Chain A
């Protein structure tokens, strides 16, 4: 699955991944692939603009980390990001239940 069907859901999925543990860009992308079992085949680079935008919107915060001997930008969820994730989760549940009941 790529492109259009993912539009509008990428932000929520990134927030959900970072909510589990702070992560750098590569880890976020790998975790998205792992959790979706490879279903989403978006160009990997497109996750980075979304990370930067979510940070600008105050939903993520980031800092440099030298932990592994390499300089990496690590993202973590902010309080506002946590609230936004909760809202997106409940919106998605409502939406998916409605689609399910129509399609079933």
Chain B
């Protein structure tokens, strides 16, 4: 079997997709045309194929995480504008249709998943290859953020289609524009995630890192070594912010109730998803 045929076979075994494989073979073919004696110096085809899978898989996993964050940013900004305009559009406290459970849950899941994916991708950005376990953590975080974004998108569409009757006429078109921007951005993020899922690194080893190492200098030094303590502090801060927002809206009781629910959800989420998302050992 010639070097190129063997390399093609090994790339196929390593899971390198067809288009990429053809490009690699064309590049090595050109290399051998430049210097036919180079075949000895190119290296073992099986090792090369694994290296392609590991390096490209690592880069694609990071790219999926960065793409998700870039996709969520314009969607999040537009959603923020939409949310800020609820009062001006004529929504009252009794109109629960627009900000339904899908929007409430979706925005929080998107924020947490997107941020966690970005933090891990940023921390590993200089690593030529990450382990298979590390890539899985990156992809799970990205998938979670994407799920949150899609849930928010669905919530916006449902909310915009249920007009309570007294809402300004410009609100529904604005909500649909937000949903359209979100659909395009999240569609692109989904494609990059699918690409990353198709070519994953195979390098053995653990997914080094936890919530403390991901946050780095953003977290106080003495909390970094204890992910559980850090998660409790974050849940506490979230609760305080929500309670204060309730006080600012002259509904302290509702604020405190929502703060308790959110803090409990934070801790439950950390307990359930902490390991699969690489936040704790």
Instruction: Enumerate chain A interface residues (CB-CB to B < 8 A).
Output: 7, 10-11, 24-26, 29, 43-46, 48-50, 52-53, 56-57, 70-73
Check B24–A52 contact: CB distance below 8 A: yes
State the main secondary structure of chain B at its contact with A: helix
Interface string of B194-226 (1 = CB under 8 A from A): 000000000000000000000000000000000
Interface string of B39-61 (1 = CB under 8 A from A): 00111000110011011101110
Query: Which one of A44, A52, A56, A72 lies within 8 Å of B30 (CB-CB)?
Result: A72
Query: Which one of A11, A44, A56, A71 lies within 8 Å of B60 (CB-CB)?
Result: A56
Residue of A nearest to B23 (CB): A73
Q: How far is the CB of B156 from chain A (nearest CB, A)?
A: 31
Given A43-B41, A52-B24, A56-B60, CB of A26 within 8 Å of CB of B52: no
Q: How far is the CB of B198 from chain A (nearest CB, A)?
A: 13
Q: How far is the CB of B6 from chain A (nearest CB, A)?
A: 12
Chain A contacts for B31, CB-based, 8 A: 25-26, 29, 44
What 7 A-B pairs are tightest by C-beta distance, nearest first?
Answer: A43-B43, A56-B59, A45-B42, A45-B43, A53-B55, A49-B55, A26-B34
Chain B contacts for A45, CB-based, 8 A: 28, 41-43, 48
Check B128–A46 contact: CB distance below 8 A: no
Given A44-B31, A56-B60, A57-B63, CB of A49 within 8 Å of CB of B48: yes
Chain A contacts for B20, CB-based, 8 A: 52
Docked CA distance A49–B51 (Å) = 6
Check A49–B26 contact: CB distance below 8 A: no
Docked CA distance A48–B140 (Å) = 28
Residue of A nearest to B129 (CB): A53
Check A25–B30 contact: CB distance below 8 A: yes
Given A43-B41, A44-B41, A46-B51, CB of A53 within 8 Å of CB of B30: no
